[in-house]
Structure 1
Amino acid sequence: MFTMVQLQFPTTGKAKKEILDQLQDLRGQDANWRDGRTWSLVYYGGEDISDLTRQAYQLFSQENGLNPGAFPSLRQMETEVVSMTADLLGGGGETVGNMTSGGTESILMAVKTARDYARAIRPEIRQPEMVLPVTAHPAFSKAAAYFDIKAVYIPLTEEYLADISMTKELINANTILLVGSAPAYPHGVMDPIEEMASIAIDHQIPFHVDACLGGFMLPFLKKIGEPVPDFDFRVPGVTSISADLHKYGYASKGASVVLYREDAYRQHQFYVRSDWPGGLFASPTMAGTRPGGAIAAAWAVLNYLGQDGYSRLADSTLQITRRLKEALAAIPGLHILGNPQMSVFAVGSEELNLYAVADELESKGWHMDRQHLPPSLHFMVTQAHRESVDAFIHDVQKAIEAVTGHPEAYSEGSTAMYGMVGSLPDKSLAHGFMRDYLSSMTRKH
């Protein structure tokens, strides 16, 4: 049980310098992403990009995207960001979309749109279902919980792909949406998008492609000659796409785009109310107030880099990724899971306690992402890792030596937590523990 310690509201204000110094001190405790010691969360394209996005964000930090009539600048920039993204992802003149606060909101909007579309054209459905791979982002299961939709999960093949034969069997008269990932976060593997889209056409259901990770990387890998299969609106049957600007689009957090093949379908995304005493209310996405800074920063970085800049970043990021993957795969006991096609991948092992290895690496200043089912370590590569790969590989080898030499020393931290969850016959029993953990994160104790 966590006890709340009451923090009193300040009676008097502090000097600006004191506040800024305190912020710098707090920041010093955070994960070190600038030096490439963090393998998730921050997508760093270089200091020139970061400096641009900071300045663009600051220029519009007080503007509000809630009312485009009051801030036509934000309306223009959002429209242009959506249009440029649609062009990148194979959209045509009918393609429409909106900016959101991130991939989760984009996914929530896509699922809500599919549900309300089904309500309009298939009112006989009482319990809507959504068919998606088990590797699809948890934002989809969150959307299912929020919008009262049953999530039906597609098992994976040995290569961590959505099993096409099972996909066909899981679709029924209640299915309102099929989902695929390009790529899926856990292993960086692309689902068989073209085959899934064909199934969606056969069953006359919408198909959403989650390209939050790959939307601003895969097109440029393809441009430089990598064998990337079509995954976007170039594929018949793809109805909607989510793509995060604040991942490999290198924009400030939080910025994403949700796109629809046509406006008649997107209409089901909107919320409107005409009988509110406060006036006529219309909202395109989940959020009401939307920070103008995020819109301006996204617009700025797209125009700053252009296709040439993004292609250059994609090429150099791919080279760093290959160097890291080859070095990790050369370490006895480690292997890459599946066939990842870009700069996100996972490393597994049948011999080593990877959670203990991760704990040892974190003691050396690396921020590690852990996964399970199966146990693995997750990697997201950016420019920040160019100079850190060799040091990381050295520390991995030392961490493995430490763990294999003294396994009894690793009984706490993530090793204990993931071990506990892995031993439970019913994984839902871990939900209470996870809720308590979340609650503790925002308490002063």
Structure 2
Amino acid sequence: MLTTGPRGTKDILPDTSGHWQYVEKTIREVCRNFAYHEIRTPIFEHTELFLRGIGETTDIVEKEMYTFTDRGKRNITLRPENTASVVRSYLENKLYAGPQPTKLFYIGPMFRYDRPQAGRYRQFHQFGIEAIGAHGPTIDAEIISLAVELLNKLGLNELKLLINSVGCPECRPVYRTKLQEFFRDKVSHLCSDCQSRYDRNPMRILDCKNETCAEHSQGAPHMVDCLCSDCSNHFTGLKDLLTAAGISFVLNPRLVRGLDYYTKTAFEIQYSPLGAQSAVCGGGRYDGLIAECGGQPTPGIGFAIGIERVLLALEKQELLPFINNAIDVFVAPLGAETQAASFELLTELRHAGIAADMDFMNRSLKAQMKYANKYPAKFVALIGQDELAQNKVMLKNMETGSQNLIDRAELVHMIIEEMEK
């Protein structure tokens, strides 16, 4: 049906868009305080970017991407996440030539063909952070601190931070071998996806949501027990920094995240009042991604927060602010001959920075007053034939009910004075 949007999409209507603006405004304030700057990348990219950047063994690439061939026979994908796009832009636009690290944030829609559920859609919106160019754990602690600061500022305080280290190309092969040894006798009991992952990327088995796979992965070896000295020192440093910042955390050795590009730090922030689907933020370090996308070896770390998930949490906890859609003045013309003068007044009010509207439906005076109350409007400026002839306006205060005949030339100044009281 043409009157129904595609499954997994949702219109953001005027009565809720103010809540989105509130969250986005808070995001921009926090990012400014942390010296992160906005980047806006295209909604679609060459498919190869995500194949190389995200990893061919991930659920995103194998099952969830919206991919098509355009009229130029190019293979194009709607972005399922934005880190790969930011890295591509970082390289293409030579952002590495500026002061390092490069600290960026983005807000925008992503696309994944997934099963829609509460707070999760096929077109969804993410706020994300990317910090590129810094090696040490201090930048890891900073972006985790930024995420916690943002969620706390929005009023979400019952947060649980989970952290893990997923190692690096030096120590991960050791872990890979141990995982394959652990799962060797269990492969036949795993889902078809995990049977495929056993040879390609056994760490991904730990991230499987299948209950049988989760059951058979109990007791699997931990990556933290296989870390090389560099990864171990990095992880210890992160824990010390978070402790120094007063940020509590829980070690979760099964946390591997859903993207192949992660190295060393992986983390997730959960908001327990959301129940089983409690994750609101996830991220990690990706020291090999820039080189994988064609650049020089460069470290990076980032996270993404689902805005729909945050709004759902704020709604459930009754933390969304009241959005005031009131206007200052409603101009009420009476009769066709007063339309031009009314529109002239409307234009003057708006030029003066006064929120104003007028009747465009040729309603009766009673209907116009009722409509003005629905906004609500603080004042109604009525122009009838008598007012037009005298070059005056009848101004009614909708709160007190008082009304006065005002000289047309003095009206804007008078309204500004009333609003400043």
> TM-score when scaled to structure 1?
0.23
Higher relative contact order (CA 8 A, sep 6+): 1
Scaled by the length of structure 2, the TM-score of the pair is 0.23
